[in-house]
Structure formats: structure tokens, C-alpha cells
Amino acid sequence: MLLRKAGGGGHLGSGVERHEAMARLILFNKPYDVLSQFTDSSIGAARATLSDFIAVPGVYPAGRLDRDSEGLLLLTDDGRLQARTADPGFKLPKTYLVQVEEEPDAACLDRLRQGVELKDGITRPAEVERIDPPELWPRDPPVRFRKSVPDCWIRLTIREGRNRQVRRMTAAVGFPTLRLVRWGIGAWTLDGLAPGTWREAPVG
């Protein structure tokens, strides 16, 4: 079922370049188990894609979000804006709410802040803090828990975009990720967006 946008965007400031004034920027709350692309070229059962939720011609994802992750995905029709938001070279902060197995102590959080060793090198320093369970929508399907093992939530902000980076970072310090929600990219956040809905945002 096609979902319409949740709301409209505002007007742009006078200092924004003309090409950006004409650009469209869409904030989409990608549900779990949805591909961050408009088509599915795989063989077998059809998988949900962006085309099931967004019918805006000419826009394409600025970056990606794994199928088993949820949260903010940006789409635009402007190449320079796409590069600015998706290219790790611009070091745009990306903030994630992460539910992890077990309860990491201060030393483990410090390792994440300083950078951890992955197979493709050491990660850049990150911002991380333990948080109370956030008020999020129920995931469909529900997260599988081990009743005998505690869990907790952290807020993690990174400025790079390696493949499955957040999951690999938490695993590297001994705390597997159970649920991963991207909450913000730069100044854009999920605030007010239900899963599967989108809105246009001003470009600035």
C-alpha cells in the first residue's frame, strides 16, 4: 500500500544556492525488512522496497540503510546534495539508537569513543552514551531476546559509513546489536515520523 507524505517542507533561506533551492529532500522512516532501493533484482520471493512507500519521480537514496535496520533514510533529486549527505568525506554525523545484548560498562563505551579495530581498519572516534529505553514503535517482527541475558540501549554517533559499521562496532567490544534505529543525519531527525511515512524537508 502506498503511503502519502506525513507533512510538507518549509521555505529555504535566501543564502541557499539556486540548485539547492530547486532540490527536493525527503525524510523517510524506513521500516525493518525494507530494502533501501526502489527495485529488487534478487531471484525468489519479492522483498519490500522503497517503491512500496514512495511515489516521487526523480528522487534516489542519499546513502543506504541495511534491510535489517530501521530509521532515517534521506532521498533527493540533487546530485551535489546526495554527495554532501552520503559521502563519508563530508563527515556528516549519523546518530543511531542501538539496543545491545548485555550491559556495556564505562570501559567498553570508552573503546567505542576512541575507535575500535575492525577488519577494514580502526574506526574514527565516536560519540556514545548509555540511555534509557527510547519511546519507539514496536518492531515488526519483534526483537528476539534471550530471557536470561540483560540488554540496554546506547546512543551512538559516527561520521563515517562502512558496511554494517555500528553492528560490527558493538560486536567488537562484546555486545551484539539486537535492534538498530538511525535517528538522525546531520540536523535531520525522525522526530514525528511513523514507520513507513515520509515528509519533505527544507534544504539548508
Catalytic residues: 66
Cell representation of residue 133: 529505553
* DSSP sequence for 94-162: EEEEEEEES---HHHHHHHHH--EETTEEPPP-EEEEEPPP--PPPSSPPP--TTS-EEEEEEEES---
Measure the CA–CA gap between 185 and 204, rounded to whole angstroms.
13
| 134 contact partners, CB below 8 Å, separation of at least 6 | 97, 153, 181
Q: Long-range contacts: 11-14, Cβ < 8 Å, 24+?
A: 11/202, 12/202, 12/203, 12/204, 13/204
185 three-class SS: strand
Alpha carbons 14 and 21: distance in angstroms, whole number: 9
Nearest residue to 168 via CA among 204, 117, 92: 117
